[in-house]
């Protein structure tokens, strides 16, 4: 395995008793890359990231983080920020104390007030963790993950439960870290978050990858769709397509070309293309295709 990668996972297996949650999963995240691990509920994303974070042992397989074993916490934790789905803060500590404690435990250095500002928690600095709302706890998780501007940032569903402003603030902070060269690994069920930012995406279902690639590589595996309706008595359109409830639905890998042809035909025939819709394949479509829904 090369040491140029931020994360190297090879044939990772995670088991819970008899249940095989992650099956022979292999992937690499390059340094400076934004990598999104997407998938269905229970696909095994968190289980895989917990191994990468050093929180869970693998049943088998090899995992290297920044060239080290994730179990080598003394070497890895100062360089890696982690926001998993469940935080383990002491309820009696204040927000600021919690951030400082994580800094001490991970041996990362930063200005606690700066980080609380980034996470929108400045006014909550002296509040006990037990008195935070769900969204505020999530922001505290984020604050501790970005404390010290880590080289590698792991974000497991970071925006779940956050209001729009908090989400925007989180992405601003992540984008800044990325501009500074940090590697980002994200899981999310908001596919547009990944579609907008990820350099590459791994799509997981039932413990393993079904696809991996850039957004363009993933979406070009499925056709785009052109749909429209025609007025009564109009001639047949120039390309074959399915007819659903009187509307035409044409699947194509040459969207622009076919659209051009269709518009030319409608113009020449003097026909309206009613409710015309045409759009590139979205990540949601690829996602639905792998899960068979």
Ligand X SMILES: Nc1ncnc2c1ncn2[C@@H]1O[C@H](COP(=O)(O)OP(=O)(O)OP(=O)(O)O)[C@@H](O)[C@H]1O
Cβ 286 to ligand X, closest distance in Å? 17
Cβ 186 to ligand X, closest distance in Å? 12
* Residue whose CB is less far from ligand X, 26 or 271: 26
- Pick from 5, 7, 21, 191 the residue near ligand X by CB under 6 A: 21
* Residue whose CB is less far from ligand X, 42 or 117: 42
Contact status, residue 175 vs residue 190, Cβ threshold 8 Å: no
* Residue whose CB is less far from ligand X, 52 or 250: 52
* Residue whose CB is less far from ligand X, 47 or 183: 47
Contact status: 19 vs ligand X (CB under 6 A): yes
Cβ 14 to ligand X, closest distance in Å? 7
Strand order in the sheet with 5-16: 19-30, 5-16, 60-65
Which of 263, 260, 276 lies closest to 227 in space, CA to CA?
Answer: 276
* Residue whose CB is less far from ligand X, 45 or 77: 45
Diameter over CA atoms, the chain: 76
Tell me the window of 37-45, 159-167, 212-220, 236-244 that interacts with ligand X (CB under 6 A): 37-45
> CA-CA distance, 256 to 132, in Å (whole number)?
51
Cβ 4 to ligand X, closest distance in Å? 27
Contact status, residue 187 vs residue 156, Cβ threshold 8 Å: yes
> CA-CA distance, 239 to 250, in Å (whole number)?
8
Q: Please, which residues have CB within 8 angstroms of residue 80's CB and are 6 or more apart in sequence?
A: 53, 65, 66, 150, 151, 152, 153, 154
Helix axes 164-179, 134-146, angle to 10 degrees: 10
x/- mask, ligand X, residues 39-78, rule CB under 6 A, reads x-xxxxxxx-------------------------------
In degrees and rounded to multiples of 5, residue 172 shows phi and psi of -60, -45
Count the site residues for ligand X by CB under 6 A: 11
Tell me the window of 14-22, 230-238, 246-254, 269-277 that interacts with ligand X (CB under 6 A): 14-22
Contact status, residue 235 vs residue 269, Cβ threshold 8 Å: yes
> CA-CA distance, 61 to 10, in Å (whole number)?
6
Cβ 30 to ligand X, closest distance in Å? 22
Which of 246, 239, 235, 240 lies closest to 269 in space, CA to CA?
Answer: 235
* Residue whose CB is less far from ligand X, 2 or 41: 41
> CA-CA distance, 70 to 154, in Å (whole number)?
13
Cβ 19 to ligand X, closest distance in Å? 5
Contact status: 16 vs ligand X (CB under 6 A): yes
59 burial type by CB count under 10 A (0-12 exposed, 13-18 middle, 19+ buried): middle
* Residue whose CB is less far from ligand X, 37 or 169: 37
Cβ 145 to ligand X, closest distance in Å? 17
* Residue whose CB is less far from ligand X, 43 or 169: 43
Cβ 203 to ligand X, closest distance in Å? 11
Where does this chain bind ligand X (CB under 6 A)? 16, 19, 21, 39, 41-47
């Amino acid at each position: 395995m090369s040491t140029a990668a931020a994360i190297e996972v090879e044939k990772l297996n995670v088991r819970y008793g008899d249940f095989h949650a992650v099956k022979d999963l292999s992937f690499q995240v390059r340094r400076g890359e934004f990598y999104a691990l997407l998938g269905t509920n229970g696909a095994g994303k968190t289980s895989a990231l917990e191994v990468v974070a050093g929180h869970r042992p693998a049943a088998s397989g090899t995992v290297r983080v920044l060239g080290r074993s994730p179990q080598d916490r003394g070497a890895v934790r100062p360089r890696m920020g982690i926001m998993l789905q469940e935080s383990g803060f002491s309820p009696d500590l204040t927000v600021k104390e919690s951030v400082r404690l994580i800094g001490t435990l991970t041996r990362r250095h930063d200005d606690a007030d700066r980080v609380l500002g980034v996470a929108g928690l400045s006014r909550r600095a002296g509040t006990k963790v037990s008195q935070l709302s769900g969204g505020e706890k999530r922001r505290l998780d984020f604050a501790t993950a970005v404390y010290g501007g880590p080289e590698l940032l792991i974000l497991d569903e970071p925006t779940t439960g956050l209001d729009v402003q908090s989400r925007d603030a989180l992405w601003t902070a992540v984008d800044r870290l990325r501009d500074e060269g940090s590697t980002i690994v994200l899981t999310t069920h908001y596919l547009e978050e990944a579609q907008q930012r990820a350099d590459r995406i791994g799509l997981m279902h039932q413990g393993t990858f079904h696809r991996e690639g850039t957004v363009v590589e993933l979406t070009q595996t499925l056709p785009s769709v052109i749909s429209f309706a025609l007025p009564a008595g109009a001639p047949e359109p120039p390309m074959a397509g399915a007819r659903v409830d009187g509307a035409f639905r044409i699947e194509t890998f040459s969207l622009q070309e076919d659209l051009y042809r269709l518009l030319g035909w409608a113009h020449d025939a003097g026909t309206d293309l009613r409710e015309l819709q045409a759009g590139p394949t979205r990540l949601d479509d690829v996602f639905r295709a792998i899960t068979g829904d």
